Homo-oligomer: A and B are copies of this chain.
Amino acid sequence: MGETHEKSEPRGRLSTTDWEQAALHVLAEGGVSAVAVESLARTLGVTKGSFYWHFPTREALLKAAIDRWEQRDEDEVISRVERIADPHERLRELFHRVSREVQSHLVYAALLQASDHPLVQPVIERISRRRLALLTQAYGEAGFDARAAAHRARLAYTAYSGFLQLNQSHGMPRMDQEEYEAYVDHVIATLIPA
């Protein structure tokens, strides 16, 4: 009768990692408030009795999931981009990366939405500083003086996070792939000097 469709194969026992990944999944879809223990337990095919064995509290899960995400972001984006020598190329790579790796950006968008949450706020702050620093550095090496580099970096970063925000509102007309590519090209042409 009331069979709720669990998606993640209720294969036997669970580990803390399973919970963290499931949390990241619903976080990307429904935001921080969607990370609820009973709801999560249902999608994993268990009850919250299981949850409170692996984690002491909901906040603990949230923190663990976010930490995991932040770590992946650090490893697979920042460090990879940083070792590109040519600043122009580095900036282009940065802009193009937004097109791919959708999941990661969805999580970031969800965190932005909840930046007032005491657990999320420091994360957002760290990420923002890191990305702003990365952009500022690149613009500096590209020939901008310190002040202009900081400004341009801020402009690029806010355009990025504002873009995520705009695409959150599901009422907005979703861009198709072609339109999206054209937009990214426009942004690159506008924000990166020839």
Contact = CB atoms under 8 A, between A and B. Distances in A.
Nearest to A175: B154
Given A148-B186, A159-B162, A162-B165, 20 more contacts: A30-B116, A31-B116, A112-B165, A113-B116, A115-B165, A121-B171, A124-B169, A125-B169, A125-B172, A128-B172, A151-B183, A151-B186, A152-B186, A155-B186, A157-B166, A158-B159, A158-B162, A158-B165, A162-B162, A190-B191
B31 A155 contact: no
Interface of A: 30-31, 112-116, 121-122, 124-125, 128, 147-148, 151-152, 154-155, 157-163, 165-166, 168-172, 182-183, 186-187, 190-191
Most buried by B among A116, A125, A148: A116
